[in-house]
Amino acid sequence: MQRLIKNLFKDNFFLIGAFGITIAISTLSLIKAPKTDVGFSNIDKMYHLFAYFTLSLFWLFSFYKKSSLKYFIVLACIIFGILIEILQHILTTHRTGDYKDVIANTLGSILGLIVFNQIKKN
């Protein structure tokens, strides 16, 4: 049984991680966030960039052998980011959709693709 679990995680590490990150981003984006007093304005844009960078990397590595899907994966991450912002605006009273967040999400996904291409090249 241990061997089966070990092989399952070994072969599907990135796919399991990609699903986990997708669920985490969805959840964290729609729940009420605690107030934090950070000294930097728009620091949340860095969080968005990092989250979508990580999201796109995990999805890209999940389908590493199917490199023809890489642009579709990045596009799906970008669309996911747009949908989350729309859902924040429609479904929540404590969150608002922000085009700056969409830009940060998009940049994170594109940066993930750039890093993926560099890693794959080497």
Residue 61 placed within a domain: yes
What does the pLDDT read at residue 40?
Answer: 61
Which of 115, 116, 117, 87 minimizes the C-alpha distance to 101? 87
For the chain, how many structural domains are there in total?
Answer: 1
* Angstrom distance (rounded) from CA 19 to CA 16: 5
Label residue 42 left, alpha or beta by phi (over 0 means left) and psi (-120 to 50 means alpha): left
Q: Domain of residue 70: give its range.
A: 2-33+43-121
What pTM was computed for the model?
0.85
What does the pLDDT read at residue 1?
Answer: 60
**What's the average pLDDT block by block, 10 residues per block, for the chain (122 residues)?**
61 88 94 68 88 97 87 98 93 86 97 95 84
Residue 81 placed within a domain: yes
Which of 48, 109, 49, 47 minimizes the C-alpha distance to 78? 109
Which token pair is 110? 């594109």
Residue 38 placed within a domain: no
